[in-house]
Amino acid sequence: MLHTFVAYVEDRPGVLTRVASLFRRLNININSLTVGRSERPGLSRLTLVCEASGEAGHRIRASLFKLENVVDVDDIAQAPSVTRELALIKVAASPRKRAQIFDLVEVFRARIVDLTSESLMIEMTGVESKIEGLIEVLREDDGQVLEICRSGKMTMRRGHHVSSVVKAMGVVDGEAAEPEVEPAADSVAGEAG
Amino acid sequence: MGHKENAKTQANASEGNATEGGNATEGGNATEGGNATEGGNATQSGNATAATTNAADSQAHLTTPTRLTGSEILWATLVGEGVTEVFGYPGGAILPAYDALRKFPIHHVLVRHEQGAAHMADGYARASGKVGVAVATSGPGATNLVTGIATAMLDSIPIVCITGNVSSKVLGTDAFQEVDITGITLPVTKHNFLVSKAEDLARVLREAFQIARSGRPGPVLVDITKDAQQATAEFDFEAAKPRAYRPHPMLHVDDSGLAQAAELIRNSKRPVILAGHGVMESGAMEQIRTLAERAQIPVGLTLLGLGGFPASHPLSLGMMGMHGEAWVNEAIQEADLLIACGMRFDDRVTGTLATYATKAKKIHIEVDPSEINKNVKVDVALVGDLREVLEQLLPRIGSRNNGGRDGSAWLKTIEASKGAVAVRDINNLPDSGHLYAAHVMHDLWRITGGNAVVVTDVGQHQMWEAQYFHHDKPRTLITSGGLGTMGFALPAAIGAKFACPEKEVWVVAGDGGFQMTAAELATIVQEKIKINIAIINNGYLGMVRQWQEFFYERNYESTPLVSPDFVKLADAHGIPGRAVRKRSEVDSAVNAARSATGAFLLNFMVEKEDSVYPMIPAGSGLHEMIRRPDHDPLEETADDK
């Protein structure tokens, strides 16, 4: 099954290698990995998606926690969450074909962010299936798609979520343990937006 | 600055004097001036006597912030962490550190190969429970440590390895003797650091010690660039204190888990405690014993768990797994409850998982959450420090007369299964004049009263040691379990001897493994330490030969082994020794070694094609054992003069 982990890690050289090396050692392929600054100074937030057996989730999370530079790990599993991915797609387009692509972009609620005489660049944010839908349509015309750049998934739990990172950073709160969010029926990731 | 420097030097040198005087292993150096290998020691004592003695000043650098070089910060921090011995080998990139060493009360043991340094630090840690320290230079010095680091990693041993590296300005340029050692050791260390600024050193080193010894212990490597050793920085030991240790966030022991565990124990008919290395690491010997005695539960041990529960205890079943006794493995297969304490269900312990203890519920008490359900699915997981968890669990366990269980029927069943088996596999194999390794182990145990610290290598002799030498006390067996590192014994024993100079230390090694690190014989001589060495010499890479015999149709490819005359080899080092060919000679030989003032080597010429029984072939179930043949063909064929 597909696992999604959200982790807060120290923003230092070599930390990403440690995370990646753990998955290499466990012989698990990383489907996507996004990293960037978080709301906490000195901490990066990463979203890591990988394919592994259902039982592996516990062990991966526990192993991530064993890395000294990892401050918090959340296994999103089936919890209600919003997932997004950003894609930049460069498409060959002569002036005559532009209008057709403009229409397509409109339908997919994407944006044109660059335009030259031979090509244009589409920016699109959404869930994986939506991005793949657009790419598929664009590919119907052979040779039209020149380049694709995808960010990988970014995931955030829905609603108020007291991350244990707050506790890890020394903020006092009354909670004994991280609240377990029960899987909700309407948790189709991300289609709310 | 110059003034301060001077004062500090004096202070440290005076402490050096005090330490040297107190250290039994070093006492002889000053008087035995004739030995050429002593140059370093003589300098050291000269330095020490020159200094004035003022014990109060010796720790001054720990309490008063001072400006020091990175090299001085390195040693000062180690002193602050309680380090008194380090094992190392100098070289270009670590020279600034070595240059500053003489000012500090740390004894440096010069090894013959950096792998030996890591094993010595490891042996030191296993024997003492303290953090062992190894030092090496950049490049090949650092890469030579790797086997030793991996050995410590697989057995969760707290060591800190210090390596020098090229200056930060040329890092990543393939400079002379440059290697990315933090990259290389990333998967075999608990954590590692690259330090390129002197001001970071104290903090990083203190954190390294904390990481090494906390939670599930493990090796930590600190790579220090040459310029960081040379630069100066403010040194404030107290200010460099790491943030409070944060236990793994997934540690979890709650009332319902404890209640469930107690309930399972109370209702069990055929329980077995499986005790591992965690018993020692957590210091839970008393608690395990109380649990076993109160609830009348027999105890099986992993290889690294030996000594965690007394072998002479009536409830002890001995070692389990691949070469464990038949009755232990049978008890596990028949059990209705396994209480796994500080062990990780290694494949050498479980055999094939498909048929492992299928009738048993399982309770797993373990400090590392990533071990839970890794190999064996458990019913109750109590994730925390073993001793603390047992302290919480014990009040819920009643004794037989106090609401507890009656274990007598199960114990009788196990006892009955020992009968004939015990004689056939392990005990009293008739010697008929031959010398079997099993005899050597048994006699060694008998003659030393089981009080020695035995450091084994890896292979047949290691298993025979585990079977025939009965360990009643923790930290009396030091062996590479997880990685199975040949060449471990001799250097690890040197480390163990430094950790407990008052104890009798025996190396037990095969003729193959011994030759991997035999160069450390010279280290023994240079350090003038007393270690007894027993080589179990069968002329084969014995365990591999045994696998070839059982599983590869006796195709003894590349396992017959030509060795030097080990007695002469020892003699070349100035170490006396003798060869032993008959069982009747064992007693006098062992006694000669024990009574010798210095190191002594015994070359036991044992039966060449003996095998370790019983054996569970890799990938088989615990009940599928290969037993010792009733009539061992060797008994008829061997020629014993």
Residue written as token pair 């920085």: B233
User: Would you call A68 and B248 a contact, using CB atoms and an 8 Å cutoff?
Assistant: no
Q: Distance, in angstroms, between B74 CA and closest chain A CA?
A: 22
- In angstroms, the CA B273 to CA B410 distance is 13
- In angstroms, the CA B179 to CA A150 distance is 35
Whole-complex ipTM: 0.84
Nearest CB to B186; choose among A17, A66, A164:
A17
For residue B610, give the nearest of B415, B485, B405, B432 by alpha carbon: B432
3-state secondary structure at position B388: helix
Opening angle at CA B474, ends B473 and B479, nearest 5? 115
Percent of chain B surpassing pLDDT 70: 86
For residue B443, give the nearest of B602, B610, B628, B303 by alpha carbon: B602
User: Would you call B186 and A63 a contact, using CB atoms and an 8 Å cutoff?
Assistant: no
| Same domain (yes/no): B281, B338 | yes
Is the pLDDT score of A164 beyond 90? no
**Residue of B153, B280, B285, B543 marked active site:** B543
Give how many domains chain B has, as a whole number: 4
* Mutation for testing the A interface, residue in B154, B185, B250, B372 having most A CBs under 10 Å: B250
For residue B90, give the nearest of B103, B71, B77 by alpha carbon: B71
Whether B320 sits among the annotated catalytic residues: the reply is no
Q: Distance, in angstroms, between B49 CA and closest chain A CA?
A: 44
Find the Cα–Cα–Cα–Cα dihedral B113, B118, B122, B128, rounded to 10°: 80
- With CA atoms as reference, the chain B residue closest to A66 would be B248
CATH code assigned at B330:
3.40.50.1220
| Same domain (yes/no): B445, B371 | no
Label the pairing between strands A119-126 and A111-115. antiparallel
Overall fold of domain A2-80+159-168 = Alpha-Beta Plaits (3.30.70)
- Do the domain assignments include residue B629? no
Residue written as token pair 């999370």: A61
Low-confidence spans in chain B with pLDDT less than 50: 1-56, 633, 636-641
**Residue of B8, B103, B190, B226 marked active site:** B226
- Do the domain assignments include residue B535? yes
| Same domain (yes/no): B448, B492 | yes
- Do the domain assignments include residue B487? yes
| Same domain (yes/no): B504, B601 | yes
- CA B308, B311, B317, B321 dihedral sign is positive
Q: What are residue B604's DSSP bridge partners?
A: B536, B580
| Same domain (yes/no): B567, B539 | yes
**Residue of B26, B72, B114, B207 marked active site:** B114
Q: Distance, in angstroms, between B218 CA and closest chain A CA?
A: 11
- With CA atoms as reference, the chain A residue closest to B216 would be A66
Residue A78: per-residue pLDDT: 81
User: Would you call B248 and A66 a contact, using CB atoms and an 8 Å cutoff?
Assistant: yes
- In angstroms, the CA A20 to CA A30 distance is 8
User: Would you call A17 and B373 a contact, using CB atoms and an 8 Å cutoff?
Assistant: no
Whether B463 sits among the annotated catalytic residues: the reply is no
User: Would you call B250 and A61 a contact, using CB atoms and an 8 Å cutoff?
Assistant: yes
| Same domain (yes/no): B336, B450 | no
- Do the domain assignments include residue B162? yes
A169 contacts on B by Cβ (under 8 Å): none
Whether B609 sits among the annotated catalytic residues: the reply is no
Burial of B281 (0-12, 13-18, 19+ CB in 10 A): buried
For residue B410, give the nearest of B232, B577, B268, B514 by alpha carbon: B268
Across all residues in chain B, what is the average pLDDT? 88
User: Would you call B186 and A21 a contact, using CB atoms and an 8 Å cutoff?
Assistant: yes
A162 contacts on B by Cβ (under 8 Å): none
Whether the Cβ atoms of residue B435 and residue B605 lie closer than 8 Å to each other: yes
| pLDDT tens digits, A24-38 | 999 999 999 999 999
Query: Is A2-80+159-168's fold the same as A85-150's?
Result: yes
Residue B425: per-residue pLDDT: 61
What CATH number should be reported for the domain whose range is A85-150? 3.30.70.1150
Residue B433: per-residue pLDDT: 73
- Do the domain assignments include residue B620? no
A5 contacts on B by Cβ (under 8 Å): none
Asked which of B362, B380, B415 is the last residue of a domain, the reply is B415
Sheet-wide strand order for B380-383 = B316-319, B299-301, B271-275, B337-341, B361-366, B380-383
Give the domain extent around B181.
Answer: 70-246
Q: In this structure, what DSSP letter does residue B303 have?
A: G
A72 contacts on B by Cβ (under 8 Å): 249
| Same domain (yes/no): B599, B453 | yes
CATH code assigned at B157:
3.40.50.970
A24-28, A70-74, A189-193, B387-391: the lowest-pLDDT one = A189-193
How many other CB atoms are found less than 10 A from the CB of residue B355? 14
Residue written as token pair 């209640």: B259
**Residue of B59, B177, B230, B296 marked active site:** B177
How many other CB atoms are found less than 10 A from the CB of residue B502? 7
B248 contacts on A by Cβ (under 8 Å): 62, 65-66
| Same domain (yes/no): B446, B567 | yes
Domain spans, chain A: 2-80+159-168, 85-150
| Same domain (yes/no): B292, B186 | no
User: Would you call B370 and A59 a contact, using CB atoms and an 8 Å cutoff?
Assistant: yes
Whether the Cβ atoms of residue B119 and residue B498 lie closer than 8 Å to each other: no
Q: Which two tokens stand for residue A33?
A: 């990995």
- In angstroms, the CA B140 to CA B142 distance is 5
Q: Distance, in angstroms, between A66 CA and closest chain B CA?
A: 7
Give, to the nearest 10 degrees, the angle between helix B386-393 and helix B255-267. 70
User: Would you call A68 and B190 a contact, using CB atoms and an 8 Å cutoff?
Assistant: yes
A62 contacts on B by Cβ (under 8 Å): 248, 250, 368-370, 372
Burial of A91 (0-12, 13-18, 19+ CB in 10 A): buried
User: Would you call A68 and B370 a contact, using CB atoms and an 8 Å cutoff?
Assistant: no
Whether the Cβ atoms of residue B439 and residue B431 lie closer than 8 Å to each other: yes
Whether the Cβ atoms of residue B365 and residue B348 lie closer than 8 Å to each other: no
The CA-atom distances, in angstroms, between B45 and each of B9, B28, B49 are 14, 11, 6
Backbone φ and ψ for B223, nearest 5 degrees, come out as: -100, 120
Q: Distance, in angstroms, between A14 CA and closest chain B CA?
A: 9
- Do the domain assignments include residue B226? yes
| Same domain (yes/no): B51, B186 | no
- With CA atoms as reference, the chain A residue closest to B210 would be A68
Across all residues in chain A, what is the average pLDDT? 84
**Residue of B176, B234, B359, B568 marked active site:** B176
Q: Which two tokens stand for residue B179?
A: 């290697």
Q: In this structure, what DSSP letter does residue B340 have?
A: E
B369 contacts on A by Cβ (under 8 Å): 58, 62, 65
Nearest CB to A18; choose among B186, B250, B374:
B186
Whether the Cβ atoms of residue B494 and residue B109 lie closer than 8 Å to each other: yes
- In angstroms, the CA A63 to CA A25 distance is 11
Q: Distance, in angstroms, between A61 CA and closest chain B CA?
A: 8
| Same domain (yes/no): B142, B285 | no
Whether B391 sits among the annotated catalytic residues: the reply is no
For residue B527, give the nearest of B492, B493, B494, B500 by alpha carbon: B494
User: Would you call A72 and B249 a contact, using CB atoms and an 8 Å cutoff?
Assistant: yes
Residues on B contacting A at a C-beta cutoff of 8 Å: 182-183, 186-187, 190-191, 194, 211, 246, 248-250, 368-370, 372-374
Asked which of B246, B264, B281 is the last residue of a domain, the reply is B246
User: Would you call A66 and B374 a contact, using CB atoms and an 8 Å cutoff?
Assistant: no
Whether B543 sits among the annotated catalytic residues: the reply is yes
Q: Which two tokens stand for residue B225?
A: 């660039």
A59 contacts on B by Cβ (under 8 Å): 370, 372-374
**CB-based contacts of B555, cutoff 8 Å, min separation 6:** B548
| Same domain (yes/no): B333, B437 | no
Q: Distance, in angstroms, between A65 CA and closest chain B CA?
A: 7
Whether the Cβ atoms of residue B203 and residue B211 lie closer than 8 Å to each other: no
Percent of chain A surpassing pLDDT 70: 81
B182 contacts on A by Cβ (under 8 Å): 14
For residue A52, give the nearest of A32, A22, A27, A75 by alpha carbon: A27
